Structure 1
Amino acid sequence: MMQRQKPSYLCSLLIIPFFLLVACSSTPKNDYDLDYNFANLKSFSQLPPPDNSDPLSANRIKQAISNSLTSQGFIPETQAADFYVGYGFRIDDKPKDSGFSIGLGTGTWGSSGGASIGTSVDVPVGSNTAKIQTIQIDIIDPKTNQLIWRGTDKFTFDEGGEAKAQETNATVAKILAQFPPKTEK
């Protein structure tokens, strides 16, 4: 009896959702002074937080910055730091997805195969908007008071509390993982 091989397109259909999930995750953006020598930076000092109407988010970001930089080996310094760290953030409304989806499936059973198409519609429960928090972190040279590096990223949340605190920590860590830039100097 001859074994029937499964079509290779079935494997492709299993892999596609993984790549779509990865493509939806955000990647931090950064920019920096191409002529600056980042190798000499060892200690940091945080600038006072900006005035805002969300002191919980401000304090979380400030603490996450300190934790991330310290874990990278930078030393917090109140005076005579090698660089200053400032940050800003904003929260915007984002419409939630419509809840309408279309699916395509294929399969084999014994010596026969088939394909199907299906649709679904979600019934919205609760709010029809989510929140997006964008965080911007600036690294400033204390001697010239010039911006030498900037990183930004964002995350989506529905409510505050522990989940938002964890997303804040993860987002700040992703941003600062790109600091200092890997330059060829």
Structure 2
Amino acid sequence: MLRKLFVASLVLVLGACTQTPDWDYDRSVQFANYKSYAWSPDADLKNHGREYQVNDLMEKRIRNAISSEMAKQGFTLTDANSADVLVNYHASVDTKLEEDEMHISYGARWNYWGLGWQTHTTTREYEVGTIVVDMIDRNSNQLVWRGAKEGRLRNKQTPEQRTASINKTIAELLSNFPPKPQH
């Protein structure tokens, strides 16, 4: 199952995605106590898939984007034995169908009167990717925060477009980590 999730780093090519991220977290956790992070041993896309986008370049983009966002939040990258949280990430790709219907009605015409109705349906298959970033409390080994973002995948992007897309997706995902205090 986990292997299947990693196959999908294509998800990170979400440049045009309009979906807002989904977050969940443990409300009892004092996120203000977290200052450092390390990579979870499971955070590794390149060894878990055979898709075109799953490679060392994509792995580097993901880690750079997460590191950049964590640094903006004041977190320091450290070794796994002393980190407050472990960062894990994974992805999945699902195939969906999009259906468009066009309704055409008829009215009066030259030398002909009548009514009619015609429906034309077009169906397209497309891929939707989801990237998930998890924060795991190192001491308890419990998941304390999860962010996920879904979007339609785009192929044939330049390396610069892929990097920008990943940076944008990760920034949106981590915009609620640590969670903002509820008033």
> In structure 2, how many angstroms separate the alpha carbons of the residues matched to 1:99 and 1:62?
42
Distance between the aligned counterparts of 1:68 and 1:99, measured in 2?
42
Compared with structure 1, are the counterparts of its residues 160 and 176 closer, same or farther at alpha carbon in structure 2 (3 Å cutoff)? farther
Deviations 1:90-149 (A, max 9, x none): 1223335638599xxxxxxxxxxxxxxxxxx9x99xxx4433221101101111111111
State which of 30, 47, 71 in structure 1 corresponds to 2:23. Answer: 30
Of the candidates 162, 166, 173, which is equivalent to residue 164 of structure 1? 162
Hey, what's the Cα distance between the residues in 1 that align with 2:32 and 2:24? 17
Distance between the aligned counterparts of 1:151 and 1:180, measured in 2?
Answer: 11
Unpaired stretches in structure 1, ≥5 consecutive residues: 1-23, 103-120
Per the alignment, residue 150 of structure 1 pairs with: 146
Contact 1:68 1:173 in 2 (8 A): yes
Farther-moved stretch of structure 1 (76-85 vs 30-39): 76-85
Distance change (3 Å), C-alpha of 1:97 and 1:75: farther
For normalisation by structure 1, the TM-score amounts to 0.64
Structure 2: how far apart are the matches of 1:165 and 1:101? 41
* Separation in 2, partners of 1:158, 1:32: 30
Q: In the alignment, is residue 65 of structure 1 matched against residue 66 of structure 2?
A: yes
Q: CA RMSD in A?
A: 2.9
Structure 1 runs of 4+ with >4 Å offset = 99-102
- Helix, strand or coil: the match of 1:98? strand
Distance 2:95 2:129 in 1: 9
CA distance in 2, matches of 1:101, 1:151: 40
Rg comparison, structure with higher value: 1
TM-score by length of 2: 0.65
Structure having greater relative contact order (Cα 8 Å, sep ≥ 6): 2
Determine if contact 1:83/1:140 at 8 Å carries over to the other structure: yes
Q: Give the corresponding residue for 1:173.
A: 171
Contact 2:18/2:151 (CA < 8 Å) preserved in 1? no
Identity of aligned residues (%): 34
Runs of 5+ unmatched residues, structure 2: 1-16, 105-119
